[in-house]
């Protein structure tokens, strides 16, 4: 829309607005990641922020927004002489989830580079966002290689483009803002650490506040210009305050006392590396400037910790984000020292924006239990009729599993499990480009052009290259699959110690799926039927929560579980045809539910074999006498069977089996 929703008209979300404003005051803070459920004004607040940023001076005609007072000496459009410039509003550039690498960093005109020797470069979104805002909605769904490029540019303040021996570098300093819904999957901890601040947002549960949200939104939709005019005075005041805070920032003093508190806090929460300390220092300084002070106070350090540390404590993918505020207060008190930074009665922030030591409303669970699970209202599964339910068993400790993959070469979403034709990876050949040329195969292009040089009038050195000669590099990388777990929760599996081991194995496989960027789904069967405990999702956290509360008991309707899984895969194939599936059946192979349970289970298994679905059966049978039913099921599925012990990547049994298989193959 041409008229953005006013930033000051956003109801509530104090932490979100504060984090955005701190980055506007000091872009060196490093951006902000906004996590929360859908419909919580994440995108609205980010888009509204761009209207508050001061205008920027640029060199006229420079596509890279160079500052006329200090132009970039390496600007591709340069060199520029210092002098008067033109003013324009700060940009807010959006990076679509489906963007290509060329769209992000820019692209070289390969034809002109080869035929004319001209280094022609078309700037990408990183250049457009220079000295403005780069906004990535659903950043957790962005391909990993794009996230790496994005965060590298944000950290270095420059973008480097290397294509076929041609190198271009340009400045790229911007306020990076990412939003995400955790239900759709998490970012890797290494990438989480690259965002300066993080904020958890949720819709208000107060009826009056929700009413106000609806009123303002309806008023804005009815007449955006009139609604914006009503908030113009408040917008101007915040804009002036940002400018004043920017001017004051160089004068803010970060004393030794505040630095000791920052270092002690990061050490107390066992944060890896030093980035957290640096971000906290910059954030505390920005908080002081935003409050109009030149000294950093203990309250600034506390608020900086609440914004900069929660996401850095997430060591494992199933850890709940959050910060133990009691521990934080004890640490700050212990290291308060004799510093003048610790004013016992500081002036409060005039509008409450500076935090005043108030805890973040969504800072996470108290107590610092990194293994705590979020509450799930529907975590317990409905009790099938006729089942004798037993209490849910706790999962044993997860372990590193053997690599399971789908055979063949796919073309699905980027990931790390199975081979696939991708835009990134090792070069395996060349082909004629279909559409725009993205990755030139130089040798194949030269080979295609060489036989035609005499006909094209070339008698001396060099080549005449035409469009028909260009060849696209065919690359092979890795894709993420849909890993569908079918878990037997019947009475034959229900011994608590045994079910704990089974849950530990499934949790280990979920951890592997997280690391390989897969989607996961969970089907359980017991009693008289099967159910989809978790539809296919990118959130392995949700699968872990459902698994932990999984009840057990009753008969073993194996066929019902397989048929339910077959239906899930059929629907998912319609939604995402390119993503291949890996079926993981966790069972002892017994089938006791329904009429002719063994025959029906065999027919259901053969459906997967007929469709070529890759499958693995995790054999949970135990005891001195084993029937081998899981192995028979694997044969019906056309897949392989592994025992719980063999599932471990470092298991001796698995190693012996691999060696024997290699010898047979040789």
Residues catalogued as catalytic: 275
**Quick check: 307 and 176 in contact, CB under 8 A?**
no
- By CB atoms closer than 10 A (0-12, 13-18, 19+), residue 278 is middle
Q: String of b and e for 4-36 (b: at least 16 CB within 10 Å)? A: bbbbbbbebbbbbbbbbbbbbbbbbbbbbbbbb
Rg (CA), the chain: 29
| Alpha-carbon gap, residue 506 to 508, rounded angstroms | 5
| Alpha-carbon gap, residue 662 to 383, rounded angstroms | 46
Q: String of b and e for 76-89 (b: at least 16 CB within 10 Å)? A: bbeebeeeebeeee
**Quick check: 56 and 131 in contact, CB under 8 A?**
yes
Look-up: residue for tokens 């990876």? 425
Classify 449 as helix, strand or coil. helix
Backbone angles phi, psi at 29, to 5 degrees: -55, -35
Q: Which own/partner contact pairs does 144-152 have at CB distance under 8 Å and 24+ positions apart?
A: 144/188, 144/191, 144/414, 144/517, 145/101, 145/414, 145/424, 146/95, 146/99, 146/101, 146/104, 147/187, 147/191, 148/191, 149/101, 149/104, 149/105, 150/95, 150/104, 150/126, 150/176, 151/176, 151/191, 151/194
**Quick check: 96 and 140 in contact, CB under 8 A?**
no
Written as six digits, the tokens of 199 are 């904020």
Which alpha helices (H) appear in 473-579, and where do they start and end? 496-515, 540-548, 558-575
Written as six digits, the tokens of 83 are 């002098």
Q: Which residues, at least 6 apart from 180, have a Cβ–Cβ distance to it below 8 Å?
A: 33, 34, 35, 138, 139, 140, 141, 187
């Amino acid at each position: 829309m041409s008229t953005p929703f006013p930033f000051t008209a956003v109801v509530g979300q104090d932490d979100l607005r504060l984090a955005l404003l701190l980055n506007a005051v000091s872009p060196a803070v490093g951006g902000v990641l906004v996590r929360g459920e859908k419909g919580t004004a994440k995108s609205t607040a980010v888009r509204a922020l761009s209207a508050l940023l001061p205008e920027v001076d640029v060199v006229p005609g420079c596509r890279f927004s160079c500052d006329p007072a200090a132009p970039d000496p390496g600007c591709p459009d340069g060199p520029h002489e210092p002098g008067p410039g033109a003013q324009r509003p700060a940009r807010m550039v959006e990076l679509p989830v489906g963007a290509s690498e060329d769209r992000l960093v820019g692209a070289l005109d390969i034809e002109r580079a080869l035929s004319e020797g001209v280094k022609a470069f078309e700037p990408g979104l990183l250049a457009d966002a220079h000295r403005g805002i780069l906004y990535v909605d659903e950043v957790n769904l962005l391909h990993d290689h794009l996230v790496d490029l994005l965060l590298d540019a944000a950290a270095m303040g420059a973008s480097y483009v290397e294509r076929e021996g041609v190198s271009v570098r340009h400045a790229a300093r911007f306020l990076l803002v990412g939003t995400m819904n955790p239900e759709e999957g998490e970012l890797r901890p290494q990438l989480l650490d690259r965002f300066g601040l993080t904020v958890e947002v949720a819709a208000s549960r107060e009826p009056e506040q929700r009413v106000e949200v609806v009123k303002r939104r309806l008023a804005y939709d009815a007449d955006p210009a009139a609604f914006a005019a009503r908030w113009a005075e408040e917008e101007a005041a915040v804009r002036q305050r940002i400018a004043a805070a920017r001017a004051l920032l160089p004068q803010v003093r970060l004393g030794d006392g505040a630095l000791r508190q920052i270092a002690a806090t990061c050490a107390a929460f066992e944060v890896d590396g030093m980035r957290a300390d640096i971000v906290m220092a910059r954030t505390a300084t920005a908080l002081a400037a935003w409050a109009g002070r030149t000294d950093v106070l203990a309250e600034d350090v506390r608020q900086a910790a609440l914004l900069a540390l929660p996401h850095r404590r997430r060591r494992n993918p199933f850890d709940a984000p959050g910060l133990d505020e009691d521990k934080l207060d004890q640490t700050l008190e212990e290291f308060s020292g004799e510093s003048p930074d610790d004013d016992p009665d500081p002036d409060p922030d005039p509008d409450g924006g500076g935090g005043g030591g108030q805890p973040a409303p969504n800072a996470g669970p108290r107590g610092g239990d990194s293994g705590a699970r979020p509450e799930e209202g529907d975590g317990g599964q409905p009790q099938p009729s006729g089942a004798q339910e037993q209490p849910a068993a706790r999962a044993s400790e997860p372990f590193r599993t053997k690599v399971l993959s789908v055979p063949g070469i796919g073309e699905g979403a980027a990931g790390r499990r199975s081979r696939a034709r991708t835009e990134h990876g090792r070069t395996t050949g060349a082909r004629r480009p279909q559409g725009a040329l993205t990755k030139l195969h130089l040798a194949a292009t030269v080979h295609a052009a060489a036989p035609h040089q005499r006909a094209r009038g070339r008698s001396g050195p060099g080549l005449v290259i035409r469009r028909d000669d260009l060849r696209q590099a065919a690359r092979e990388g890795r894709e993420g699959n849909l890993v569908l777990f079918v878990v037997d929760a019947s009475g034959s599996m229900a011994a608590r110690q045994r079910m704990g081991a089974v849950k530990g194995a499934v949790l280990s496989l979920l951890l592997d799926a997280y690391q390989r960027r897969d989607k996961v789904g969970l089907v359980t069967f017991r009693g008289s039927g099967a159910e989809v405990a978790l539809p296919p999702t990118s959130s392995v956290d949700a699968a872990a929560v459902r698994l932990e509360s999984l009840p057990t008991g009753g008969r073993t309707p194996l066929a019902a579980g397989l048929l339910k899984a077959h239906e899930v895969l059929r629907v998912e194939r319609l939604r995402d045809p390119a993503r291949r599936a890996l079926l993981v059946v966790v069972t002892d192979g017994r089938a006791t539910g329904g009429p002719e349970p063994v025959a029906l289970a065999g027919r259901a298994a053969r459906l997967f074999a007929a469709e070529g679905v890759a499958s693995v059966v995790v054999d949970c049978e135990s005891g001195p006498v084993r029937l081998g039913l899981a192995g028979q099921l694997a044969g019906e599925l056309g897949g392989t069977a592994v025992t719980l012990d063999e599932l471990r990547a470092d298991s001796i049994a698995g190693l012996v089996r691999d060696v024997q298989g290699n010898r047979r193959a040789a």
